[in-house]
Amino acid sequence: MRINCPHCGQRSNDEFSYLGDASIVRPDPAAPNANEAFYAFGYERANIAGPMQELWYHAAGCHAWLVVTRDTRNHEILDVKSAQEVALERQKAAGTAQ
Amino acid sequence: MSELANHTNTAHASDLIERNDVTVTNIAARRGARASLDERARATFGVSLPSTPKAVEAGGALIVWAGPDQWLIIQKDEAGRDHYSELAKTFNGLASLVDVTESRTIFRISQARPSPVLSRSMGIDFHEDAFKPGDVAITHVSHLGVIVWRLPDGTAYDFACARTYSRDFGDWLRKAKA
């Protein structure tokens, strides 16, 4: 499997380490349902069969965190973005929603 | 004779040297300071800090991309000059600087093209059309982290690794460069 790092280009997956689901967002600790939300944040994970957003770290390369969209059925990689870019987009989207 | 032996002392043979005459400074842009850091770099070196894996030579320094918003600045030692302190003053407030001269070993293979062994030994594409003069790659060789760049004038390949592993990596390069 090769991952197209937005900084380095195509690299073998032995340069990367895997963290897990990239769609999980830390809940608001002040929310009334914070207890349940943090339980889900810490423990509940979907076992997705299909395209999934995942966090990968380019450990042996540029040391950037990436959000990789990978089809878990055949390892096809559909999209790679820098995690920083994704986080900024999320912040922006959250800001507009408020 | 094996293919490896055939290449020894032939047209591919070249010198492998350890560069002991340079100061190496790692600089990392502070959050939100990328643009002003670049302005300062242009005023000092006359060039922008590369935002893609490139190495540029300017103002007596080689500036090597070392990851997003990070660079290695490599300067030849000169009597009476403290390159690190000068850079720390220049980029004060805009970047974090660390003198990594003693923690990195830089090897140089002076050849215009990589040997067949070298091109097959690393996980990056060393082909002439893929890894051009001035290109940089951060990768690993048998679990050792290495930054490799081709000099902007195309005359040599440099390899920077942690000094702890330099003996091991040096041995590896001696075999691979042949």
Measured CA distances, B22 to B72, B75, B79, B92 (Å):
12, 5, 12, 22
What tens digit of pLDDT does each residue of B65-111 get? 999 999 999 999 999 999 999 999 999 999 999 999 999 999 999 98
CA–CA min distance B148, chain A (Å): 11
Round the average pLDDT of chain B to a whole number and report it. Answer: 89
Beta bridge partner(s), residue B90: none
Q: What is the pLDDT of residues A1-17, one digit of tens each?
A: 999 999 999 999 999 99
The interface pTM score, or ipTM, of the predicted complex is: 0.85
Domains delineated in chain A:
2-97 (3.30.2270.10)
Most B CBs within 10 Å, among A62, A66, A86, A88, to test the B interface: A62
- Say what the pLDDT of residue A96 is: 66
Is residue B12 pLDDT above 90, yes or no? no
* B43 pLDDT more than 90: yes
* CB nearest B139 (choices: A15, A64, A84): A15
pLDDT at A95 over 90: no
What residue segments make up the domains of chain B, in order of their start? Answer: 3-18+104-177, 22-99
A32 pLDDT above the threshold of 90: yes
Mean of pLDDT values over B27-54 = 96
**Least CB–CB distance from A62: residue in B68, B123, B140:** B68
Nearest Cα of chain A lies from the Cα of B145 at a distance, in angstroms, of: 6
Mark out chain B residues that contact chain A at CB-CB < 8 A.
52-53, 67-68, 123-124, 137-140, 145
CATH architecture group of domain B3-18+104-177:
2-Layer Sandwich (3.30)
B-chain residues near A9 (CB < 8 A):
53
Confidence band, pLDDT 50/70/90 cuts, at residue B14: low
User: B139: which strand partners?
Assistant: B146
pLDDT the model gives residue B120: 80
Yes or no: domain B22-99 corresponds to CATH 3.30.70.1520: yes
Q: Report A:62-91 residues touching B (Cβ under 8 A).
A: 62-64, 82, 84
**Residue B57 structure tokens:** 């030579």
Per-residue pLDDT reduced to its tens digit, B88-97 = 999 999 999 9
pTM above 0.95, yes or no: no
Reported as a pLDDT band with limits 50, 70 and 90, residue B114 is confident
Domains B3-18+104-177 and B22-99 share a fold: no
Q: Is residue B10 over pLDDT 70?
A: no
